[in-house]
Amino acid sequence: MALYSDKVMDHFQNPRNVGKMDDADGVGEVGNAKCGDIMKMYIKVNDGIITDVKFNTFGCGSAIATSSMATELIKGKPIEEALQLSNKAVVEALDGLPAHKIHCSVLAEEAVRAAVKDYYDKNGIAYNPDEFQIHDCEHCHD
């Protein structure tokens, strides 16, 4: 069996929503504690809906594929829904990742959260800080 699913290969080779956004309403930058890779996520928000999203990464192929899928999953969705996006949901949407690459999907999840938090901070929107706790990678392999 191939190590990576067709969907992972597709999103790695043709990543969606790559780039910078100069007029972003929220920007999140996170680093992966396990490998040192970096991810930056930009969101545009209109009436509580994420109307556009872009990402830039200095990360591996799995980071690229998961971020690409994450942007597809949150685009056009209410911002609260983006906050609920888990790395597991992203991995499932990609038909799985090898266990040792699951931590790469965390980068995508955390970058989305960081961008949402930045949007909330910039707009003085109150939020529950518990929703922005750092992901515990040890549970990624459940």
**What does the alpha-carbon distance between residue 12 and residue 79 come to, in Å, rounded to a whole number?**
25
Region of 14-22, 31-39, 86-94, 118-126 interacting with ligand FES (CB under 6 A):
31-39
Q: Which of 60, 104, 137, 140 is catalytic?
A: 104
Residue 35 binds ligand FES (CB under 6 A): yes
Region of 12-20, 32-40, 46-54, 85-93 interacting with ligand FES (CB under 6 A):
32-40
Residue 102 binds ligand FES (CB under 6 A): no
Region of 41-49, 58-66, 111-119, 131-139 interacting with ligand FES (CB under 6 A):
58-66
**CA-CA distances (angstroms) from residue 81 to 17, 49, 57?**
19, 9, 23
Residue 104 binds ligand FES (CB under 6 A): yes
| Catalytic residue list contains 60 | no
> What tokens were used for 80?
């609260």
Beta carbon of residue 57, minimum distance to ligand FES (angstroms, whole number)? 8
**What does the alpha-carbon distance between residue 77 and residue 50 come to, in Å, rounded to a whole number?**
6
Q: For residue 113, which of 142, 86, 76 has the smallest C-alpha distance?
A: 86
| Catalytic residue list contains 104 | yes
> What tokens were used for 122?
């910039």
Count Cβ atoms below 10 Å from residue 79 Cβ, excluding itself. 20
Phi and psi (nearest 5°) for 36?
Answer: 85, 5
Which residues of this protein are in contact with ligand FES, per CB under 6 A? 32, 35, 37, 59-60, 62-63, 104, 107
What residues are annotated to the active site?
35, 104
